[in-house]
Amino acid sequence: MSKRSAMRDARHQMVSAQLERRGIRDGNVLDAMRAIPREEFIATEHRPHAYEDRPLAIGAGQTISQPYIVAYMIEALQLQGGEKVLEIGGGSGYAAAVLAAIASHVFTIERIPELARIACRNLSAAGIRNVTVRCADGTQGWPEKAPFDAILVSAGAPEIPRRLLDQMHIGARMVIPVGDAPTSQDLIRVIRTHANTFEREWLTGVRFVPLIGEEGWEPRSD
129 CB-near residues (< 8 Å, 6+ apart): none
Of 50, 86, 88, 131, which lies in the binding site for ligand SAH, with binding defined by CB under 6 A? Answer: 88
According to DSSP, the residues that pair with 188 across neighbouring strands are: 176, 202
Question: Which residues are CB-neighbours of 87 under 8 A, at least 6 positions away?
Answer: 95, 96, 99, 106, 107, 108, 109, 151, 152, 153, 154
Binding status of residue 94 toward ligand SAH by CB under 6 A? yes
Q: Which stretch binds ligand SAH (CB under 6 A): 20-28, 43-51, 86-94, 174-182?
A: 86-94
- Find the binder of ligand SAH among 69, 107, 154, 179 (CB under 6 A): 154
Residue 167 interacting with ligand SAH (CB under 6 A): no
Catalytic residue among 65, 92, 104, 154: 65
Regarding 141 and contact with ligand SAH (CB under 6 A), the answer is no
Binding mask 40-79 for ligand SAH (x = CB under 6 A): ------------------x---xxx---------------
**Residue 55 Cβ vs ligand SAH, minimum distance, rounded to whole Å:** 9
Q: 123: buried, middle or exposed (CB in 10 Å: 19+, 13-18, 0-12)?
A: buried
Shortest CB 196 distance to ligand SAH, Å: 25
Among 15, 50, 76, 91, binds ligand SAH (CB under 6 A): 91
Q: How far is the CB of 193 from ligand SAH (least distance, A)?
A: 26
92 exposure class (CB count in 10 Å sphere: 0-12, 13-18, 19+): buried
Question: With contact defined as beta carbons under 8 Å apart, do 76 and 176 qualify?
Answer: no
Per CB under 6 A, the segment of 27-35, 43-51, 109-117, 177-185 that binds ligand SAH is 109-117
Q: Is 65 a catalytic residue?
A: yes
| CB nearer ligand SAH, residue 115 or residue 172 | 115
Residues noted as catalytic: 65
Which residues of this chain interact with ligand SAH, rule CB under 6 A? 58, 62-64, 88-89, 91-92, 94-95, 109-112, 115, 137-139, 154-155, 209, 211-213, 216
